[in-house]
Every structure is written in structure tokens, then in C-alpha cells.
Amino acid sequence: MNAHNAGDVGSLPLAPRNPLPFRQRLKAVREYHIGQELLRETGGPVSRVTLGPKWLNEPIVWVTSPMGARDVLGRKDTACDRTAVHREMRHLMGDNIVDLPNEPWLSRKRTLQPLFTKQRVRTFGGHMSQAAAMVADGWGDNAEVDLDAECRRLTMRALGRSVLGTDLDKRADAFAEPLRIALSHIADRGMRPVRAPRWLPTPARRRAWAADAAMHRLSDEILQVCRADPTRDAPLVHALIGATDPATGRELSDQDIGNDLIAFAAGGYDTTATTLAYALWALGHHSEQQNRVAAEAAGIGDRELTPDDVPQLGYTVQVLHEAMRLCPPVAVAGRTAMQDIEVAGYRVEAGSMVLVGIYAMHRDPALWENPLVFDPDRFNAENSGGRDRWQYIPFGGGPRSCIGDHFAMLEATLALATIIRTIEIRSLQDDFPLAVPFTTVAAAPIQAHVRARN
């Protein structure tokens, strides 16, 4: 993978220190999306950010090039592992596929990977069309809606049925708000230069504990109901109950299943909702592209769209890819260097937090022509040929990329096509403000005018 063997890394130049003044460095690190663009512009594609002495907090190295992303995320050895953010998640939410360190993660990945193949996700990915149709039908004609709120509603409805096997419409507060509290707390602590001891019961810590307890009560209730009723329409829950590690034959414990159910729902809620809202907002500014999606979906007929229809929705998929380029679900992917490693020709010291700036890389004018222009044709077969595979990584990359990427794309494609087939959208805002409390979300309501499509 790297040009140098492990023994030669010591001869490489140290990743250059970012020249920004301390206050600007601190602000850039805390602003996960636009901050990484500033760090790239001032420090280059590999930029070391220090926020204090090493004994107090680890150096942070920002990486915003395809080569650097490959060197960090593509590793198949043990030179990189989870970050402080993941350790905070594990401490609060328990062991799950997202936060487990490398060694125990291998067994969990072997156990879960067969459940998330392209073929398998079709068995529990069919609820999104129904959810999208029900939400869009409720808009009426000539109405003004908040695309972010509506996409969250339909995503919660679909995830409730497909991932948790329950109707979350009336129980959204049992999941959505606790999830927001827990993830914001995890990200805030993980990126703080100085952290209070975990045992200290601060108001923020008590809120996070209560939020985690609420989510686990819900997942435990769902799991017990499914164990008692094997016919319940909860395909992913039943699949987790029956899953085993092919190497050891070990089954998942109830605690493991509960933790992973929360992780899957967490990973699919904000990310899918925001991707859909951004795609709808962008199409609301581009009527020609919107009409192409509508015509493509209408060509299938007026029946409910199913996972089998996705191969006929190629342009819709391109729209989603372009939405995730400009609004990546995960703005940054992080690792901890367990030893000195090479990243794009530089040495990154052991103990450093290495952050791959996906947001900055997806908007880099050195990598993309007119990077801020919404152009789904970037992702047609002709224009995608020859592109560096590490240039576009909305789901991360390497062995620890998002295990649910096929499921996420299936859900988003069906939802977008279902809505645009019957609804015409006109966006009322020029900008789509973003925030990254953990994953990428809309920072404000996204207003649009909707009407029935003739």
C-alpha cells in the first residue's frame, strides 16, 4: 500500500504543522465540515493540528487527498484503530459494529456482513416506498413544507419497520431525541482538548446516560417481542437473532443485538434523512434534472416501487451520488495511529488522531471541475471512468467502511423516486445550511413549495 516499509517510515518528513493561529485551529477542528476546508487551504492535503502538549491531548492530522485517504482508511493491518470519539461511543452505548476496536470487530464483521449484501438487504429494504408515499400524500397540493422535517419523518417510519420492526411514528421521541443527545455528547467529548473524567456526573453526562437508557429500553423491548413471535415483520431483527460467526459458530448475545440495532438505526436515520432532504432541495432548484428523475420513475408504472426496480433508476442513483458528494453523510472518517505510519509521503506519529476530511475532498477544486455545481452527470458511466476510487467516499472506505451502504442506497433511491414521481418541488431557499454534531445534518429548516405533478 505504502511506498515505504514500516521500518523506513522514520525517515519520512513529519506531517507539516498547520500554520493557523491557535484560536482558528481550535475553531476549525470543532467545525467538522467547513473547518476542514480551511485546514486544507492553509496546510495542504496533510496537515498536523496541535491543540496543546502531547501529554494533554493527542495531535490531530487532517488528510484531504485520495492518496492520503487510501493510506489511512485502506489499511488491512493493525496500524490504525478507533479514535477517542469511538471510545466515547463504546463507553456510553456499548460494543457495536461501529465502535469496537479492531480485534473484537473482526468477529462482529464476519457475523453481520452476510446480512448486508445487495441481495439480502432487499428482504428488509422494501418499507421505504410505502413510507415515502404516505408522507408525500399527506402534503396535499400547493403546500409549503420543511424538507428536512419531512424526510426525517419518512426515514423514521421506514427504519422503524425495516430495522426495528415497530411503528415509530408515535414513539419517535423514544429514539430520535435520545439519539441526538447521545451522539452530540459523544462527538463533543471525543473532540474536546480537555475532557472531564467519565465518572463525573455533569448535567451533560446525566442527559447522555438517560438518552442511552431510553434507546436501550426500546431495543430490548423490540428484541423480546421478536423472540416471542418469530412471525413478526422485523426481518433484520430476526436475521440478527439467527446470525452466527462463520469462523467460530458464536451467536450474538441479546446485549450485542440490542447495541447493534441502535447502531444501525443511528447510522441510517440522520444520514438517509439528510441525503434525501439535500437531493430534494437540489432538484427543487433544477427543474430539468427533477423532470428526468420523474420520467425515469414514471416509466416503471404507477405501482409501488420495489427493490427490484432500482436497476431501472440509474439517473435517480446519480442524483443521490451527487447529493452525497456535496453533502456527505459522514463528513469525516477517523482513525488513531497505533504506530508511526506513512500518509501521502509524510510520517504520522503513533498516538495521533488521523481524520480524513471527506467533506473537503468532495469539494476540492483540484479534484472536481466546478465543485460547488450540482451535476448528477458527474456520476454517469462516461464521466466516472478513470476517477480515483478514493476521491469519492461518502460511506468511508476500506475494511471499516459503512456496512449498511447497500441498504442506505436502496432506501434513498426508492424514496426519492417515489416522491418525485408524483410531487413537483420548488425550493424556497438558496442555501442548504449544514451542521455536523456527529453526522451531517441540516442546520435549519429547509422550506420548499410542493404540488401534485401532472
First to last CA, the chain: 54
Look up the CATH number of the domain holding residue 283: 1.10.630.10
Residue 124 to residue 128: CA distance in whole angstroms: 10
| The total number of structural domains that make up the chain | 1
Q: How far is CA 212 from CA 89, 192, 356, in A?
A: 10, 21, 28
Task: Dig out the grid coordinates for 236 from the structure.
Answer: 433484520
Helix pair angle (287-298, 314-326), 10° resolution? 140
Q: What amino acid occupies position 266?
A: A
Contact 90, 198 (CB under 8 A): no
Q: How far is CA 227 from CA 175, 238, 249, in A?
A: 21, 8, 20
Contact 168, 218 (CB under 8 A): no
Domain that holds residue 187: 6-452
pLDDT digit string, tens, across residues 316-358: 999 999 999 999 999 999 999 999 999 999 999 999 999 999 9
**Assigned domain for 442 exists:** yes
**Assigned domain for 34 exists:** yes
- What is the DSSP code string of 177-212? HHHHHHHHHHHHHHT-SS---TTS--HHHHHHHHHH
* The pLDDT of residue 107: 96
Residue 391 to residue 92: CA distance in whole angstroms: 33
**Assigned domain for 1 exists:** no
Strand order in the sheet with 80-81: 46-49, 60-63, 353-357, 332-337, 80-81
Task: Dig out the grid coordinates for 45 from the structure.
Answer: 492535503
Residue 20 to residue 35: CA distance in whole angstroms: 11
Q: How far is CA 86 from CA 91, 234, 392, 416, in A?
A: 9, 28, 23, 32
Residue 274 to residue 324: CA distance in whole angstroms: 9
Residue 434: what are its φ and ψ, rounded to 5°? -115, 155
Give the DSSP H or E segment for 145: strand 143-146
Residue segments in the chain with a per-residue pLDDT below the cut of 70: 1-7, 55, 125, 170-173
pLDDT digit string, tens, across residues 35-77: 999 999 999 999 999 887 776 778 899 999 999 999 999 999 9
* The pLDDT of residue 214: 93
Q: Could you tell me the pTM of the whole model?
A: 0.94
- What is the DSSP code string of 277-305? HHHHHHHTT-HHHHHHHHHHHHTT-SSPP
Contact 333, 355 (CB under 8 A): yes
| Long-range own/partner contacts, residues 20-28 (CB < 8 A, 24 or more apart) | 22/51, 25/49, 25/50, 25/51, 26/51, 26/193
Contact 429, 148 (CB under 8 A): no
